[in-house]
Amino acid sequence: MSDPVVRPAEDAPALPIVGAPLDRVDGVPKVTGRARYAAEIEVPGAVHAVLVTSTIARGRVRQMDVAAVERMPGVLAVLTHENAPRLPGYERAAQWPASRIPTVLQNDAVHYNGQPIGVVVAEQLEQALEGARQLRVSYAVETPQLDFASAHEAPAETTHPFGVEPKETARGDVEAGLEQAVARVDATFVTPLQTHNPMEPHATIAVWEGDELTLYDSTQGIFNVRGAVARMFGIPPEHVRVISRYTGGGFGSKGGAWSSVFLAAMAARQVGRPVKLVLTRQQMFGPVGGRPRTVQRLTLGAKRDGTLTAIRHLVTANTSALEDWLEPSAIQTPMLYACPNVETDHTLVRMNIGSPTFMRAPGEATGTFALESAMDELAYALRLDPLELRLRNHADRDQLRDLPFSSKSLRECYAVAAERFGWAGRPLDPGSLREGYWDIGFGMATATYPARRMPGSALARMLPDGRAEVRAGSQEIGTGTYTVMTQIAADVLGLDPARVHFYLGDTTLPQNGVSAGSMTAASAGTAVHAAACALRTALAAMATADSRSPLYGVAEESLRAGDGHLFVESDPSRSDSYAAIVARNGGAPVEAKADARPGEESKRWSSHAFGAVFVEVRVDRDLGTIRVPRVVGAYAGGRILNAKTARSQLVGGIVWGVGMALMEETLVDPHSGRYVNADLAEYHVPTNADIGAIDVTFVEEHDPHVNPIGVKGLGEIGITGVTAAIANAVWHATRRRMRELPIRMR
Ligand code: MOS
């Protein structure tokens, strides 16, 4: 069967598919409930597991009254450190590179309040919940370390902290630079513990068939989970299948397998039934990471003209008693501004709280608060416009890595955002704008996040009806992965995006990395692009070698793709449809696979997304209420794959920045170590009513070096700089310098 319709190329969409503000391809399934999240997968015979968590912050579990709970209706098993099976990989977990240390009932130690210490499995969820509630536990209590300041006096011995690279940097001579300075800032900034609150809590359904395990998991990294679970249970990775077609937000907290994933698998094996384990909102405070507290000392020196002579950024952050996870708050500091003398260092202090982890822009979110606030202080000390100070210290080259930038459009971002905000006309002096009881202020900051990528693979397939399927084992964490991957493939193949079906979220698909570090678009995107190109090449080769094809004998380079066809660029009337090509070649789908690995580019170029963010704040003089009626951001992130989902990433990041500046704070009781505000009623994140106008502009940027598709990634840059811009605006409104988050006009 051949397709008789020959469409001229002029019918191809005028707007390129990549970049277009395409609606999310998974939008309808999501709003109609057809999109199934991990806990919603219907697995016949599944029973329910509920975590039992410690009520002390440090010590040992002495006794658990398991027998009483085992007798309760519907209870199938009560797992504790006494009866839980030994997991072959547990003892070695600490030695695996970048491995987390879960608490999986392998010993009686308690390291924080809320730590998993048991699992109750029952036929019904309510029975498991009641069993967990009734389980009597006695402890040998030790005094927990819950005070950051005293922990600070005895920093943790750490050799290979996980989370930052490098831990310290130095160039030039900071002391000499400070001597030369006519203006200095030396200030300490504090950011609090914070907890990820994705709408969907962590959830796992574990199904064993013999020694093969299937996990339906809410995760940012299906292959991370597969690897960790296989190692922990001592089984080959091929025996573990992880499925995650939709994840309801992760923000770093779902980057790998936490204790609950292993415990779900353990429980399922124990009871011989599929087991579903969903964390309660309260259980997400502690066992699945969070942002640590940071105390950051920033020292800046500058000449009269604002030129920086010295930067020192010393960070202290907490980790847990379990592992050495480091929030790399100084990560941007040696790169962001030109300066000959720069020193950064990080110190960890150990506390009896849950292990910290990646949380949207780990490092930059906290670090830009300190650095960009200190730059503002320096600007006022020099009586310079804060934007002008940044322009005078613009880094034309990455001095940390001594490399050129693959592209950098920060100056354009400053200009565009300043113009849209109306920065130029404002009074420079702080405390000079008032309206009724409102003190009004304006502030700005630089936004930055690195552009990196991981290896990825993809498979593209042309079906007999001219539709394409593309497969890559990535994840959809709400960012728009389904949509942008569909666009990339549709663009290469010249297909209507509605005729491309993209599959992700299954470890039976080609391997891809974790959806984190703003890397998915660049990583999986490059693989999808390569697979689609390979498929087009394969189809072109079939057509041009086939005497029955109108394209017979044409050189492949002269072909273009559009509207489901390959056609001769100089003579679009010579065209062949994909359906016809497939039909003439036996009618079986045509496939192509591609692997994409980071190349030499990352050694030759420094690649970062940059942006500028400007805010207006209003501070109620009597009540101390802070409002943020306006945020204007301009960002350069290489090629924008979808104007709508890209904007959505930036808006989301900015909203979180407002929350981080004004609301978010995880409170831990200093005596018991209990998480005090472990729910969405008391852990405050912004609601619509808290958010004013957000204006996001993308500065067009063509980066030929960063990766084959010119994409830098936008998942994290949006939160960076926002907290400092708000604190700087509060200073401008009130003459009060707020160096601790969340900002409170106490
Ligand atoms: Mo993100 S904090 O790299 O998931």
Q: Which atom of ligand 1 is nearest to the CA of 360?
A: 2
For ligand 1, atom 4, name the residue with the nearest CA.
252
Strand partners, 144: none
Say whether pLDDT at 11 is over 80. Answer: no
Ligand 1 atom closest to Cα of residue 715: 1
Q: Could you tell me if the CB of 449 is within 6 A of ligand 1?
A: no
pLDDT at 746 over 80: no
Instruction: Look at residue 162 in the predicted model and tell me its pLDDT.
Output: 74
pLDDT, averaged across the chain:
95
- Measured from the CA of 716, which atom of ligand 1 is nearest? 1
Question: Which residue bears the tokens 């613009």?
Answer: 394
Q: 641: CA distance to ligand 1 center in Å? A: 20
Percent of residues, the chain, with pLDDT higher than 90:
93
CA of 28 to the centre of ligand 1 (A): 26
Residue 693 to residues 472, 626, 688, 690, 696, Cα–Cα distance (Å) = 37, 15, 11, 10, 10
**pLDDT at 13 exceeding the cut of 60:** no
Label residue 10 by pLDDT band (50, 70, 90).
very low
Ligand 1 binding pocket mutation candidate from 100, 251, 254, 717 (most atoms within 8 A of CB): 251
- Counting from 1 in the atom list of ligand 1, the atom nearest the Cα of 358 is 2
- Per the structure block, which two tokens stand in for 143? 């005094």
Burial of 440 (0-12, 13-18, 19+ CB in 10 A): buried
pLDDT digits (tens, 9 = 90+) for 575-627: 999 999 999 999 999 999 999 999 899 999 999 999 999 999 999 999 999 99
Classify residue 742 as left (phi > 0), alpha (psi -120 to 50) or beta. Answer: beta
**Which tops the pLDDT comparison, 438 or 165?**
438
Tokens 């009781």 identify what position? 669
Element holding 332 (H helix, E strand): none
Can you tell me whether residue 467 is helix, strand or coil? coil
Residues, the chain: 746
Indicate if 10 belongs to the active site.
Answer: no
358 lines ligand 1 (CB under 6 A): yes
Query: pLDDT tier at 1 (50, 70, 90 boundaries)?
Result: very low
Distance CA 658, CA 669 (A): 25
Of 224, 360, 474, best ligand 1 pocket probe by most atoms within 8 Å of the beta carbon: 360
In single-letter form, the type of residue at position 22 comes to L
Does 245 score more than 50 pLDDT?
yes
Catalytic residue among 327, 664, 716, 740: 716
Q: Greater confidence, 165 or 713?
A: 713
Greater confidence (159 vs 227) lies with 227
Q: 125 to each of 75, 119, 129, 130, how far by Cα in Å? A: 10, 12, 6, 9
274 Cβ below 6 A of ligand 1 = no
Pocket flag, ligand 1, residue 241 (CB < 6 Å):
no
> Ligand 1 mean position to 362 CA, how many Å?
7
- Distance from the CA of 96 to the center of ligand 1, in angstroms? 20
Distance between CA atoms of residues 148 and 356, nearest Å: 14
pLDDT tens track for 318-358: 999 998 899 999 999 999 999 999 999 999 999 999 999 99
Q: Ligand 1 in contact with 719 (CB < 6 A)?
A: no
Answer yes or no: is the C-beta of 252 below 6 A from any ligand 1 atom.
yes
Buried b (16+ CB within 10 A) or exposed e, 239-269: bbbbbbbbbbbbbbbbbbbbbbbbbbbbbbb
CA–CA dist 367, 331 (Å, integer): 7
If you measure from the C-alpha of residue 134 to the centroid of ligand 1, how many angstroms do you get, rounded to a whole number? 37
- Looking from the CA of residue 514, the nearest atom of ligand 1 is 4
pLDDT at residue 290 in the model: 97
Say yes or no: CB of residue 251 within 6 Å of ligand 1: yes
- 279 band by pLDDT with thresholds 50, 70 and 90: very high
Q: What atom of ligand 1 comes closest to residue 357's alpha carbon?
A: 2
Res 15: pLDDT: 52
State the distance from the centre of ligand 1 to the C-alpha of 649, rounded, in angstroms. 13
Q: How far is the CA of 697 from the centre of ligand 1 (A)?
A: 23
Average pLDDT over residues 41-61: 98
360 lines ligand 1 (CB under 6 A): yes
> Ligand 1 centre from 361 Cα, in Å?
6
> What's the 220 CA to ligand 1 centre distance in angstroms?
9
Would you state the pLDDT for residue 743?
98
The finding on whether 516 has its CB within 6 A of some atom of ligand 1 is yes
pLDDT digits (tens, 9 = 90+) for 633-692: 999 999 999 999 999 999 999 999 999 999 999 999 999 999 999 999 999 999 999 999
Which of 110, 111, 81, 395 lies closest to 263, judged by CA?
81
Q: How many CB atoms lie within 10 A of CB 65?
A: 13
- Does residue 359's CB lie within 6 angstroms of at least one atom of ligand 1? yes
Ligand 1 pocket test, pick from 165, 197, 291, 358 with the greatest ligand atom count within 8 Å of Cβ, gives 358
Q: Ligand 1 centroid vs 22 CA: distance in angstroms? A: 25
User: Is 362 touching ligand 1 by the criterion CB < 6 Å?
Assistant: yes
287 lines ligand 1 (CB under 6 A): no
The per-residue pLDDT for range 150-197, each reduced to its tens digit, is 888 877 777 667 776 678 999 999 999 999 999 999 999 999 999 999
Provide the pLDDT confidence category of residue 99 given band limits of 50, 70 and 90: low
Rounded CA gap, 514 and 536, in Å? Answer: 28
Tell which atom from ligand 1 comes closest to the C-alpha of 362: 2
Ligand 1 atom with least separation from CA of 477: 4
What would the two tokens of residue 83 be?
Answer: 């009866």
pLDDT band at residue 3 under the 50/70/90 scheme: very low
Q: Is the pLDDT of residue 498 over 80?
A: yes
Give me 597's structure tokens.
Answer: 């690995």
The residues pairing with 349 across neighbouring beta strands, listed in sequence order, are 318
Instruction: Give the per-residue pLDDT at 97.
Output: 61
To test ligand 1's pocket by mutation, which of 716, 719, 720 has the most ligand atoms within 8 angstroms of CB? 716
| CB within 8 Å of 742: residues ≥ 6 apart | 192, 660, 661, 662, 663, 664, 665
| pLDDT over 90 (residue 110) | yes
- The one-character DSSP state at 33 is T
